[in-house]
């Protein structure tokens, strides 16, 4: 009986040592990993309506000086929740800019007109042709949106109201550059 108990204790001790030793190396990968195949479903118009426009509008409205008959309203995040909501919207913009880069994403569904408030002077098919003709330029505009959104996120994480206000200007410039190139290229300069 003592021999069996000693053997059991030795087995437990060996298991304990084995559990504390270095983990085994992962198995070697023998097959090439296939490239990721994105399957874009939403159009650029869908992304603008669902993510980009609402998130940008939220950030633009987060910090503002509004003149009314009652005086100047100084709008800015005041609570941790205010800052968290701004942060979430900045992240939406950052990641939406990456979604714009996915090859194969169409401007709009075939036959759809762009929203009237988008002030598009071009038909979706014409915008698509312009993007397809110079995809690197479109991608650069999307990265401009990304970079402006990252700056907004940095301002939010620092809880720096003036920096957040300035990042709103950079965000507006990023949006307007792309829109003036593709959505309404014939619009007079402002």
**Residue 29 belongs to some domain of the structure:** no
Residue 42 is classified by DSSP as S
- Domain coverage including residue 74: 44-183
**Residue 8 belongs to some domain of the structure:** no
**Residue 16 belongs to some domain of the structure:** no
User: φ and ψ at 48, to 5 degrees?
Assistant: -65, -45
**Residue 30 belongs to some domain of the structure:** no
Q: Tell me, what CATH number does 52's domain have?
A: 1.20.120.10
- pLDDT above 70 for 81: yes
E strands present in 82-184: none
Output the pLDDT for position 137. Answer: 97
Classified as helix, coil or strand, 64 is strand
Output the pLDDT for position 127. Answer: 92
**Residue 122 belongs to some domain of the structure:** yes
**Residue 31 belongs to some domain of the structure:** no
The average pLDDT across 157-177 equals 95
pLDDT digits (tens, 9 = 90+) for 8-17: 444 444 445 5
Dist CA 170 CA 172 (whole Å): 5
Output the pLDDT for position 166. Answer: 94
Q: Which two tokens stand for residue 114?
A: 């762009």
Output the pLDDT for position 22. Answer: 64
**Residue 145 belongs to some domain of the structure:** yes
Place of tokens 């907004």: 152
Output the pLDDT for position 128. Answer: 93
Output the pLDDT for position 14. Answer: 47
Output the pLDDT for position 48. Answer: 94
Classify burial at 174, counting beta carbons within 10 Å of its beta carbon; exposed 0-12, middle 13-18, buried 19 or more.
Answer: buried
- pLDDT above 50 for 5: no
Number of domains making up the chain: 1
- pLDDT above 60 for 139: yes
Dist CA 45 CA 38 (whole Å): 18
Output the pLDDT for position 32. Answer: 80
Question: In 10 A of CB 110, how many CB atoms?
Answer: 9
Question: In 10 A of CB 28, how many CB atoms?
Answer: 5
pLDDT digits (tens, 9 = 90+) for 89-136: 999 999 999 999 999 999 998 777 776 665 566 788 889 999 999 999
**Residue 27 belongs to some domain of the structure:** no
Cα 40 to the chain's mean position, in Å?
15
Mean pLDDT of the chain: 85
pTM of the model: 0.77
Dist CA 189 CA 167 (whole Å): 22
Kindly report which listed range (65-74, 85-94, 137-146) carries the lowest average pLDDT score: 65-74
**189 or 15: whose pLDDT is higher?**
189
């Amino acid at each position: 009986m003592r021999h069996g108990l000693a053997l059991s204790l030795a087995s437990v001790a060996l298991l304990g040592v084995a559990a504390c030793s270095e983990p085994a190396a992962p198995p070697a990968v023998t097959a090439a990993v296939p490239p990721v195949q994105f399957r874009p479903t939403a159009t650029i118009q869908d992304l603008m309506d669902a993510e980009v426009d609402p998130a940008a509008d939220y950030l633009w409205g987060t910090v503002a000086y509004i003149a009314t008959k009652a005086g100047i309203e100084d709008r800015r995040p005041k609570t941790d929740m205010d800052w968290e909501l701004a942060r979430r919207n900045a992240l939406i913009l950052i990641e939406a800019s990456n979604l714009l880069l996915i090859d194969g994403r169409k401007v709009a569904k075939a036959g759809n007109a762009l929203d009237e408030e988008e002030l598009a002077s071009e038909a979706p098919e014409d915008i698509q042709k312009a993007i397809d003709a110079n995809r690197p330029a479109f991608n650069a505009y999307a990265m401009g949106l990304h970079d402006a959104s990252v700056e907004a996120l940095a301002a939010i994480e620092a809880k720096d109201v003036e920096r957040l206000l300035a990042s709103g200007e950079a965000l507006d410039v990023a949006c307007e550059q792309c829109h003036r190139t593709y959505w309404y290229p014939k619009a007079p300069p402002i």
